[in-house]
Amino acid sequence: MSVKNYTASTIVSSSWVNNIQHKSSKTGFSLPNFGAIDLLKPLRSLLNDMVVQDPTIAHRICAVIPTQCPFARDVKLFGRTILRIPPLCKLNPLYDELVGLRFRAICYLADECGEDVSSYC
């Protein structure tokens, strides 16, 4: 069993776990929970279903998607913080899917192509 098969299945299965709890009102009457509407679901499924089969595309994916979440920054004026920018991964709703795609690209390069991927880690 390769690292790619085990880790990719673990990441995908853990990201699909949803823990939705139904809460009842004070009267004891509870409405059925149909779940929230996820407008980004088609894009998420597209990214999760994407299969990397070309080394050129895998190299581009690894180069474009950063290794870590870009760090937070403080904008200062005359020694005082006037604006605090949070880490960008907290603002990106597709961050987990992009990191998964990058991981699949690195696994493809390492397992299938036999390339050294230490420059992307």
Q: What digits encode the pLDDT tens for the residues 27-40?
A: 555 556 566 777 88
Map residue 85 onto helix, strand or coil: strand
Confidence of residue 2 (pLDDT cuts 50, 70, 90): low
Distance of CA 65 to the CA centre of its chain: 10
Choose between 91 and 42: higher pLDDT. Answer: 42
C-alpha 103/C-alpha 52 separation (Å) is 10
C-alpha 86/C-alpha 71 separation (Å) is 8
> 105 and 51 in contact (C-beta within 8 Å)?
no
pLDDT of residue 43: 92
pTM: 0.61
**Range 7-16, long-range pairs (CB < 8 A, 24+ positions):** 7/103, 7/107, 8/100, 8/103, 8/104, 8/107, 11/100, 11/103, 12/48, 12/100, 15/48, 15/96, 15/100
Distance of CA 37 to the CA centre of its chain: 19
pLDDT of residue 3: 54
Choose between 36 and 82: higher pLDDT. Answer: 82
Average pLDDT, the chain: 77
